[in-house]
Amino acid sequence: MSSYQVIARKWRPGLFDEVVGQAHVTRTLRNAISSGRIAHAYLFSGPRGVGKTTAARILAKCLNCSTGPTVTPCNECASCKGITGGSSVDVFEIDGASNNSVDNVREISESVRYVPAQGKYKVYIIDEVHMLSTAAFNALLKTLEEPPAHAIFIFATTEVHKIPATILSRCQRFDFKRIPLREIQARLVEIATREGVKFEDKALYLIAREADGSMRDSQSLLEQVLSFSGGELREADVAEALGLMGRSVLYELSEAIIGKDTKACLNIVEKIYKFGYDFKRGCSDFLEHIRDLTVIKATGDTSLLDLPDSEIGRLLEISGRVGLDRLHMLFTIISKGYEEVSRSAHPRYALEMTLLRAAHLDETEPISALLERLEVVASRLAGGPGVPQRPASAQPAQTAPTSQAGPKTLPWKKEASEAAKRLDAKPAQAEKEVEERPSVEKVQGAAQDDRAGLSGFVEKRNAGIAKALRTASIEVNGDVITIKGVSGPDGVRLQASKAELEACCRDYFKRPMEVSFFDPGAAKKKEVDPVVMDALRIFGGRIIEDRRRSNV
């Protein structure tokens, strides 16, 4: 019969000092034993494999050790050895899942009355206590509230929310935490060293990371990988044995996305597919990688990352080549892609499209910079001081109109460009144009004809402006066209389209014309800010409501 013990059992802690990651629990229990404040019922809750049952056994040893009660059991006396081997007549380990009936609880209630045979206490350790039936919990209440002085109950559960409040109120509750990755890795290093196993730090890091906060899981995975590798732990062996994606793939993928190398992204997905890695798990790992890049970019603190030292340098180098805003956007895209990969019948294609979207994402510009640029444009359009004029040689060349299939210029960009051209004209040239304008005397009949003809001309050029002019009164005085009687949205639209309206008038009258607006009630209203007018003209917007204090 083989006497081999698996690592999880062989290296199970026998003292409170050996329990990893639960100092808040072990310290309280040691102090309680030292001061004699031993409760009659304890409840240990927390994730799997973090030391709940182990702590219960150590507490039982502390209470029943031949030198006890003591915080450091000898692990040599008959009582300690019996508890370790599961043969103690005074310590009962009960599986709540298979002993969950009222009859099982009645047996406990009957036996608890008798004094211990060897030790000082009778200890009942009920694992997965949440599996007891409601009737079984009710049958346990009286015994749990007033047990004999020699009886100690220790309950362990992974689902504390299923425990009735009447049970919780009779117990001292201890919540066990997930064990930090670095502490699991340090424990694995200790075990591997004492077992005489050669290992790479990255290999043990992968095992600790895969354990997800469970010490027992990490030891079981270590056992599995040792069986696969033949006694030596290498990162590649761990990845292959556990079906994990190599960490180097994550860095290759982030470099490809930041460098906008779409071909490399698709090649990496092909590599993942050939190795048989799970796409959902791979996407999750990459999401965590983007999170690490964002944290180190935002804080510069590497202590916040659960990463081996060998990866910190490369992470810093990559984070230096990308902006924080783009990392935020990448995280959003990959997070949404993870959901698509999880639901898709074709996860590979979903992952490829996600990576292509991420690779084509450009660096974003801060809102403050955009606002500053908009203020500069507004200042130029208003002819504000201090705006440098471009030399004539820097004037943008006129391009021939593109075909319908070619690229189109956005309207607001075209308008801003035309406005900039007008501002770049020399003041002397503008004065010369004013001097050369011909004067035309006002003729009422001709003006009436001009209005009708102008309205029809504008209708062909811009139906929206023509619609706003239908209710307007138009007067032509030389080179000045005065528009009266238009207010509300139509008035705002005409004022925002003043440049285009002047262009229509210039083409119709065959000479430069100036458009002005007259509203009898304008004196009672606050004028629209010139910057707002420029924004309306450039972006093609309209004012819905003016909420300035003076208008309230």
Q: What is the pLDDT of residues 15-46, one digit of tens each?
A: 999 999 999 999 999 999 999 899 999 999 99
Flag whether pLDDT at 482 surpasses 90: no
Q: Decide which of 126, 148, 175 is a domain's last residue.
A: 175
Continuous segment of H or E residues that includes residue 473:
strand 473-477
Element counts in the chain: helices (H) and strands (E) = 25, 10
For position 474, which CATH number holds? 3.30.300
Pull the structure tokens for residue 323: 């902006």
Scanning 36-133, the segments in alpha helix (DSSP H) are 52-64, 78-85, 102-111
Q: Are 502 and 526 in contact (CB under 8 A)?
A: no
Q: 187 with 147, same domain?
A: no
Query: What pLDDT band is residue 472 in, cutting at 50, 70 and 90?
Result: confident
Enumerate the β-bridge partners of residue 91. Answer: 123
Q: Tell which wins on pLDDT, 304 or 401.
A: 304
The answer, yes or no, to whether the previous bond of 391 is cis (omega within 30 of 0) is no
pLDDT tens digit sequence for 312-342: 888 889 988 888 888 999 999 999 999 999 9
Flag whether pLDDT at 152 surpasses 60: yes
Q: 230 with 270, same domain?
A: no
Q: 201 with 263, same domain?
A: no
192 lies in which domain range?
Answer: 181-242
- Sign for the CA dihedral angle at 105, 111, 117, 123 comes to positive
For position 303, which CATH number holds? 1.20.272.10
Flag whether pLDDT at 505 surpasses 80: yes
For position 232, which CATH number holds? 1.10.8.60
Q: Which amino acid is at 40?
A: H
d(CA 273, CA 256) in angstroms, rounded, equals 17
Q: Are 374 and 365 in contact (CB under 8 A)?
A: no
Flag whether pLDDT at 521 surpasses 70: no
Q: 132 with 38, same domain?
A: yes
pLDDT tens digit sequence for 181-197: 989 999 999 999 998 88
Q: Which amino acid is at 63?
A: L
Instruction: Report which of 322, 408, 407 is spatially closest to residue 362, judged by C-alpha positions.
Output: 322
**Beta carbons within 10 angstroms of residue 76's beta carbon:** 11
Domain-embedded: residue 416: no
Q: Tell which wins on pLDDT, 24 or 363.
A: 24
pTM for this prediction: 0.62
d(CA 124, CA 143) in angstroms, rounded, equals 12
Flag whether pLDDT at 14 surpasses 60: yes
Domain count of the fold of the chain: 4
Q: Decide which of 175, 199, 217 is a domain's last residue.
A: 175
Average pLDDT, the chain: 81
Burial class, 212, CB count within 10 angstroms (exposed 0-12 / middle 13-18 / buried 19+): middle
Flag whether pLDDT at 420 surpasses 80: no
Domain-embedded: residue 481: yes
